Amino acid sequence: MRLLLVVEVFPPVRTSAAVQMRDLANTLARLGHHCAVLTPDSRVTEPFTMQTEGAVSVLRVRSGALKRINLVRRAINEILLSGRMWTGYRLSPLSAQGWDGIVFYSPTIFFGEFVAKLKSLHDCPAYLVLRDVFPDWAVDLGVMRKGPHYWLFKRYAQYQYSVANVIGIESPSNRRYFYPKDRRIEVLPNWIDSESDPPPDNSIPTSLEGKAILCYAGNIGVAQDIDNLIRLAQSLSFRTDCKLLFVGDGTDRQRAEAEVARLRLRNVLFLPEVDPHALRGLLRQCDIGLISLDRRLKSHNIPGKFLSYLEAGLPVLASINQGNDLNSLIEDAGVGIVLSNGDDQGLAKAAGLLLDDGDARARISEAAKTRCRSMFSSDAVAQQIVNSLAARPRE
């Protein structure tokens, strides 16, 4: 099958979306499919650049900046994204090729117009990998009100949904955002390519040597409620045998670092975002993987870091919004302990249990690796996408 993957970010960007789509592209190619990736890039000065990365062609189209800019400029650049992508794509050699399917990733919510044109040009179906129910989650957290901005973004999101022939949601409970009888909806779990090269043996900072490491790796933003984990660090500050390690970047990182400094917590260390392959090696030297989600969230989220922890064999300690499908996933698989965000005493107690019981950590570690291989294989996800696209008639 000839597949064109459309995604807002792609390596060398280090976000989970970029890594997942790289892994998906590589897996599709390994399974014998012809695969190309199309992504915007503000560093590109020509209309487009094109290169081959392994067995995958990567087309980078000139666009405005989408990260680390003020919200107004970002919104404008995102709204202009479809038009800029179409211009760059039509000038590129890829537009002359035939495609059997389009796979596009959300976030962003602004690919709808572009994907509609691709479908019309190539007479093929499109699969939306939906990982972020925006703008609804922003309303849940109080970041946005249901005013003009919300309804504008909601219109873009709904149009993007309408363009897709299949929509892969990451959690069964996220069906509630769609009509109950919408047959386009299917559960597409997150994935990780465990068949790639073994991770490097990265050394941990000297300040962590000899300590049990509770690691949080990923986005440090509003939805993650990092204060929840800072409170955990406070609860564990009396212990000299462990430290909390935060690896990543995000809108809340600077504030989180300032709060740790204000509280004079000596058991917390922040590291910058690292290459995903290097992160795999780093996680293997940690002892517990931490997940935090804001208690106000109503959407269901299976963070990419969860899969990274499982692949590294880390027991998971999660403090999340009530009713999240991640709760049963962790408990049923026996890969860690999950609590509701706000139960600070319970979270500290659970951390202590995992830290003090090395045998339990070893048992959970094996369960985590087994579950990762059986449930979150990139091969299985790639085949599901291919089968779903093949089953959809051309429009």
Q: Tens digit of pLDDT for each residue in 96-108?
A: 999 999 999 999 9
In-domain check, residue 196: no
Residue 300, pLDDT > 90, answer no
Same domain, 248 and 367: yes
Give the model's pLDDT for residue 395: 54
List beta partners, residue 213.
243
Same domain, 183 and 226: no
Same domain, 231 and 184: no
Same domain, 178 and 210: no
| Whole-angstrom distance, CA of residue 93 vs CA of residue 51 | 11
Same domain, 100 and 180: yes
Whether residue 211 contacts residue 242, with contact meaning beta carbons closer than 8 Å, is answered with yes
Neighbours of 203 (CB within 10 A): 11
Confidence label for 200 from pLDDT (cuts 50, 70 and 90): low
pTM of the full structure: 0.79
**DSSP character for 336?**
E
Same domain, 183 and 217: no
CATH code for the domain of 331: 3.40.50.2000
Domain residues for the domain of 240 are: 206-375
pLDDT mean over 298-323 = 88
Same domain, 384 and 358: no
Same domain, 314 and 365: yes
In-domain check, residue 201: no
In-domain check, residue 198: no
Give the model's pLDDT for residue 394: 57
H or E segment at 383?
Answer: helix 378-391
| Whole-angstrom distance, CA of residue 231 vs CA of residue 75 | 34
In-domain check, residue 101: yes
Confidence label for 197 from pLDDT (cuts 50, 70 and 90): low
In-domain check, residue 149: yes
Residue 88, pLDDT > 60, answer yes
- What contacts 62, CB < 8 A, 6 or more positions away? 40, 41, 42, 44, 45, 46, 47, 48, 84, 88
Least confident of 3-12, 87-96, 193-202: 193-202
pLDDT mean over 153-178 = 91
Same domain, 381 and 355: no
Same domain, 172 and 236: no
In-domain check, residue 197: no
DSSP 88-156: HHHHSGGGGS--SEEEEEES-S--HHHHHHHHHHHT--EEEEE---TTHHHHHTTSS-SSHHHHHHHHH
Residue 67, pLDDT > 90, answer no
Same domain, 215 and 89: no
Chain centre to alpha carbon of residue 326: 14
Residue 247, pLDDT > 90, answer yes
Same domain, 147 and 248: no
In-domain check, residue 251: yes
Give the model's pLDDT for residue 199: 64
pLDDT mean over 208-222 = 93
| Whole-angstrom distance, CA of residue 302 vs CA of residue 171 | 7
Sheet holding 2-6, edge to edge: 48-53, 56-62, 34-41, 2-6, 101-106, 126-130, 166-169, 185-187
Q: Over the stretch 166-190, which tens digit does the pLDDT of each residue have?
A: 999 988 888 888 887 888 999 998 8
Q: What is the number of domains present in the chain?
A: 2
